[in-house]
Amino acid sequence: MMEHQALHRTATPETVATTWRGELSQAAYRRALELCAEPPVRADWLHFLDRLLLLAGVALVLSGVTFFFAYNWSGLSRFQKLGLLEAAVLALALAAWRTGLDRILGQVLLTAAALMVGPLLAVFGQAYQTGADSYTLFLTWALFVTPWVLAGRFGTLWLVFVALWNLALGLFWDQSISGSDGFYLTLAVFNGGMWAIWERLRSRGTEWMAGRQVPRALAVVTLGWLTIPAILTVWGEPDSVDEPLCLALLIGLWVFLLRQHRSPDRDLFVLAMALTSVVTVLTNLAGNVLLQMLDLDTFGVLALAILLLAQVGWSARWLRQIGGSPA
């Protein structure tokens, strides 16, 4: 019973139905899967539109503030620029607090306040000509909003936080470290670590982490930072010593993810992204062999196209099979 309760907190409707298949008749099980796949009703659409319009409104307000400063930059004094931005950050933070961080509106307002910290720091740096490297802007930004990220318990705000750290690390490597040694590996390990932490806390029943959007985004980013150096490696053009290591880590991640297809908590989206990475690397490897090593022009391109179609077809068929099969 405890196992089923833990599963109910974290699994999707499809995996819950599959887990209880032994308790259902064949007709009841088919009906459960049909209910999982039914189109959204009017209330679902209204809920979606409410969230969409809320996010769009906040995005438009933030863009309006940005363009206001861009248009009136020369006409504003240093203190007017900083004062207006500080007032905007403070107003958004207070509005989030008054609304309540347990409500979606309060969480979105807090995210907007966190996003406004960046322009405030940028204006401060330009007004006082600090001369700091670009990566320090994003690093300071990430450090300043960390308490809000922890208090907000909002997936979108966590994605903003992770994006800031990715920008800070990427710019740090570009501006302070000669060469690309460790660049891809560092970013892959950072994003993979955030992904693992999220999945671990989610599996322990952390309610606000039950959604799949954040771990899916982290999975895509992690696979991306490993796939890029893997492609360079299979073409025989690694820029740094860590790129072959990234290929080895990527293969290990493929094996780990694809072995999850029998797990009751499997995620078809993550499996599809893993297969996309596999197809990408294998196609590039075949391209290197056919077009460079064997120097096959027209026949090589034709063989490469056939191989790509075969891989995509097999991947789609496999995903359809496990999508409708019990764990």
69, part of any domain: no
Residue 4 confidence (pLDDT) = 47
| CB distance 283 to 229 below 8 Å | no
Residue 6 confidence (pLDDT) = 46
77, part of any domain: no
246, part of any domain: yes
* DSSP sequence for 295-317: --SHHHHHHHHHHHHHHHHHHHH
Residue of 138, 148, 139 whose CA lies nearest to 112: 148
The total number of structural domains in the chain stands at 1
| CA pair distance 135, 199, nearest whole angstrom | 28
Q: Beta-carbon neighbour count of residue 31 at 10 Å?
A: 13
Residue 248 confidence (pLDDT) = 92
198, part of any domain: yes
Residue 134 confidence (pLDDT) = 85
Residue labelled with tokens 């470290």: 177
pLDDT, averaged per 10 consecutive residues of the chain (327 residues), comes to 45 56 64 63 83 86 82 82 90 93 91 92 81 86 95 92 95 80 90 94 84 92 94 80 87 91 80 95 93 85 94 92 66
Residue 7 confidence (pLDDT) = 44
Q: Which residue segment(s) compose the domain that 303 sits in?
A: 178-327
* CA pseudo-torsion sign 15, 18, 24, 25: positive
9, part of any domain: no
Residue 14 confidence (pLDDT) = 54
301, part of any domain: yes
Which CA distances in Å does 166 have to 138, 162, 173, 193, 242? 9, 6, 11, 13, 18
| CB distance 158 to 195 below 8 Å | no
149, part of any domain: no
159, part of any domain: no
Residue 249 confidence (pLDDT) = 94
